[in-house]
Amino acid sequence: MQAKRQTMPTPTPFAAPARNCPDMTLEPLKVACASCNLRELCLPVGLNVHDLSRLDGLVAKRRTVQRGDHLFRNGERFEALYAVRTGFFKTCVNSEDGRDQVTGFQMAGELLGLDGISSDHHHCDAVALEDSSVCVIPYSQLEELSREFTVLQHQFHKIMSREIVRDHGVMLLLGNMRAEERLAAFLLNLTQRLQARGFSASSVVLRMTREEIGSYLGLKLETVSRTFSKFQEEGVLDVKQRQITVLDLQALQGLVSNAAC
Amino acid sequence: MQAKRQTMPTPTPFAAPARNCPDMTLEPLKVACASCNLRELCLPVGLNVHDLSRLDGLVAKRRTVQRGDHLFRNGERFEALYAVRTGFFKTCVNSEDGRDQVTGFQMAGELLGLDGISSDHHHCDAVALEDSSVCVIPYSQLEELSREFTVLQHQFHKIMSREIVRDHGVMLLLGNMRAEERLAAFLLNLTQRLQARGFSASSVVLRMTREEIGSYLGLKLETVSRTFSKFQEEGVLDVKQRQITVLDLQALQGLVSNAAC
DNA sequence: CGCTGTTTTGAGCGTCCTCAAGAGTAGTGG
DNA sequence: CCACTACTCTTGAGGACGCTCAAAACAGCG
Cβ under 8 Å to A: B residues 98-127: 98-101, 103, 114-119, 123-124
Residue B76 has pLDDT above 70, yes or no: yes
Contact residues on chain B for A115, CB-CB shorter than 8 A: 161, 164-165, 168
- Top pLDDT among A26 and B159 is at B159
- Residue A23: is its pLDDT beyond 60? no
Q: Do A175 and B96 touch (CB under 8 A)?
A: no
CA distance A175 to B100: 9
Range with lowest mean pLDDT among A86-90, A222-226, B93-97, B172-176: B93-97
List bases, strand D, within 7 Å of protein CB. Answer: 6-13, 17-22, 27-30
Are B164 and A164 within 8 A, CB to CB? yes
Contact with chain A for residue B182, Cβ under 8 A: no
B80 confidence band (pLDDT: 50, 70, 90):
very high
CATH number listed for the domain at residues A177-260: 1.10.10.10
Which one of A114, A115, A176 has the shortest CB-CB distance to B101?
Answer: A176
Partner A, chain B 212-241, Cβ-Cβ below 8 Å: 215-218
Q: Which residue has the higher pLDDT, A215 or B18?
A: A215
pLDDT at B36: 85
**Please, which residues have CB within 8 angstroms of residue A13's CB and are 6 or more apart in sequence?**
A86
Residue A139 has pLDDT above 80, yes or no: yes
What residues of A are in contact with residue B259 (Cβ under 8 Å)?
Answer: 95, 97, 99
Question: Do residue A257 and residue B96 have CB atoms under 8 angstroms apart?
Answer: yes
Cα(B191)–Cα(B245) distance, integer angstroms: 10
Helix (H) or strand (E) holding B244: strand B243-246
Kindly state whether B165 is in contact with chain A, defined as any CB-CB distance less than 8 angstroms. Answer: yes
CA angle B214, B217, B220 (to 5 degrees): 35
> Which pLDDT belongs to residue B200?
94
- Distance to chain B for A21, nearest Cα, Å: 31
Element (H, E) at A105: strand A100-107
Query: What is d(CA A157, CA A151) in angstroms, rounded to the nearest whole number?
Result: 10
Residue numbers in A near B100 (CB within 8 A): 176
Spatial strand order in the sheet of A125-128: A70-72, A125-128, A88-94, A100-107
Say what the pLDDT of residue B255 is.
Answer: 95
Q: What is the pLDDT of residue A97?
A: 84
- Work out the mean pLDDT of chain B and round it to a whole number: 88
**Where does A120-195 show beta strands of DSSP type E?**
125-128, 132-138
Measured CA to CA, the distance from residue A116 to residue A139 in angstroms comes to 10
Q: Does A171 touch chain B (CB under 8 A)?
A: yes
**Three-state DSSP class for residue A8:** coil
Which residue in B has a C-alpha nearest to residue A261's C-alpha? B97
Q: What is the pLDDT of residue B58?
A: 82
CB contact, 8 Å: A178 with chain B?
no
- Nearest Cα of chain A lies from the Cα of B32 at a distance, in angstroms, of 25
pLDDT at B22: 41
Tell me which chain A residue has its CA closest to the CA of residue B102: A172
Which of A178, A161, A197, A187 lies closest to A258, judged by CA?
A: A178
pLDDT in tens, B8-42: 333 333 333 333 444 444 444 456 788 888 888 89
Point out the residue among B148, B171, B218 whose CB comes nearest to the CB of A101: B171
B68 Rama sector, left if φ>0, alpha if ψ -120 to 50, beta otherwise: left
Q: Decide which of A2 and A61 is more confident.
A: A61
Residue A18 scores a pLDDT above 90: no
Q: What is the pLDDT of residue B15?
A: 34
CA pseudo-torsion sign A175, A180, A182, A185: negative
pLDDT of residue B96: 85
Chain B CB within 8 Å of residue A11 CB: no
DSSP B4-27: PPPP---SS--SPPP-SSPPP-SS
Calculate mean pLDDT across residues B113-124.
98
The dihedrals phi and psi of B93, each to the nearest 5 degrees, come to -100, 150
Predicted confidence at residue A5, as pLDDT, reads 44
Q: Is the pLDDT of residue B179 over 60?
A: yes
pLDDT at B31: 62
State whether A95 and B124 contact (CB < 8 Å): no
Please give the span between the terminal C-alpha atoms of chain B, in angstroms, as a whole number. Answer: 38
Per-residue pLDDT averaged across B142-151, rounded? 94
pTM: 0.90
> Do A202 and A237 contact (CB within 8 A), yes or no?
no
pLDDT above 50 for B7 = no
Amino acid in the structure at residue B89: F
Q: Where in chain B is the domain with CATH 2.60.120.10?
A: 25-159
Pinpoint the residues of chain A covered by CATH 1.10.10.10: 177-260
Across-strand partners of B121?
B77
Higher pLDDT, A258 or A187: A187
- In degrees, rounded to 5, the angle at the alpha carbon of residue B29 between the alpha carbons of residues B25 and B32 is 125
Give dist(CA B185, CA B178) in Å, integer.
11
Which of A239 and A17 is assigned the larger pLDDT?
A: A239
pLDDT at B104 over 60: yes
Burial label, A30 (beta-carbon count in 10 A; 0-12, 13-18, 19+): exposed
Of A15-29, A76-90, B83-97, least confident by mean pLDDT is A15-29
Query: Can you tell me the distance from the alpha carbon of A160 to that of A118, in angstroms, rounded to the nearest whole number?
Result: 12
Which pLDDT band, with edges at 50, 70 and 90, does B1 fall under?
very low
Burial of B24 (0-12, 13-18, 19+ CB in 10 A): middle
In this structure, of A9-13, A38-42, B93-97, B99-103, the range with the lowest mean pLDDT score is: A9-13
Looking at residue A31, what is its pLDDT?
A: 62
**CATH architecture of the domain formed by A25-159:** Sandwich (2.60)
CB under 7 Å from strand C:
A 3-6, 206, 209-211, 221-222, 224-226, 228-229, 239, 241-242; B 6-9, 178-180, 218-220, 222-223, 241
- The pLDDT tens digits of the residues spanning A187-212 come to 999 999 999 999 999 999 999 999 99
Which range in A49-63, A118-132, B45-59 is most confidently predicted, on average pLDDT? A118-132
CA distance B242 to B190: 13
